[in-house]
Structure 1
């Protein structure tokens, strides 16, 4: 059996002093460093979360702007197509009108030429008929 004597009290005091000195010199600074690291890590995580949220918002804004630009481009393309179709119809109509005018003037010219040819043929037929009659009747 162990009998307590005065050395046990000295060892107890020595133990308490050692724990106190270790706490002051070693444990407290380590705890402070760990606490600072936790704070730094929490701050870094907040910054990372804020950055990710900001990046997600920017991507969302970019996609919205891209969709808007595509919609605007489609509207511009549609309006240009409609304008081109209207211009094409106007050009075709103008060309049709011009062609109709050209055809009418050509028909009138042909009619005049046909009438002139008919008049010339009538004169020639009359002339040939007179010559044939003259030859038949023996006049010249």
Structure 2
């Protein structure tokens, strides 16, 4: 069994002094370091959250701008397509007019050539008829 004597008081005093010294030398500085680290971690987490919200905002703005750019590109493409269709129709109408005038000119030319050929044939018919009649009647 343990017999208490006067050394127990010395041991108790020694224990209290060691707790005080350990508190001053080790525990208090460690608590301060832990408190600083906790504050640093809180600041870094706030910075990270701010960065994330900023990044999300930038991504949302980028997507909105991309959507707007796609919309504008579609409008430009449709406008160009409509303009191309209008130019195509104008070109086709012009080509149709040119073809129509060309056909009219060619028909007029053909009719004049037919008329000239008919006049020539009519003149030649009389000559051929006289020659044929002369041959039939025996005139040379």
Match of residue 28 from structure 1:
28
TM-score by length of 1: 0.91
Between the aligned partners of 1:25 and 1:34, the Cα distance in structure 2 is 15
Matches within 5 A, 1:89-104: 89-104=89-104
Match of residue 122 from structure 2:
122
Between the aligned partners of 1:62 and 1:2, the Cα distance in structure 2 is 80
- Deviation of 1:6 after TM superposition, in Å, equals 4.2
The number of equivalent residue pairs is 140
SS in 1 for 2:122: helix
Match of residue 81 from structure 2:
81
- Deviation of 1:2 after TM superposition, in Å, equals 6.8
Between the aligned partners of 2:126 and 2:51, the Cα distance in structure 1 is 109
- Deviation of 1:4 after TM superposition, in Å, equals 5.8
Between the aligned partners of 1:2 and 1:135, the Cα distance in structure 2 is 177
TM-score by length of 2: 0.91
RMSD value over aligned CA atoms? Answer: 1.7
Matched, 1:17 2:17: yes
Matched, 1:38 2:46: no
Matched, 1:134 2:134: yes
Between the aligned partners of 1:134 and 1:27, the Cα distance in structure 2 is 153
Structure 1 spans left out of the alignment, 5+ residues: none
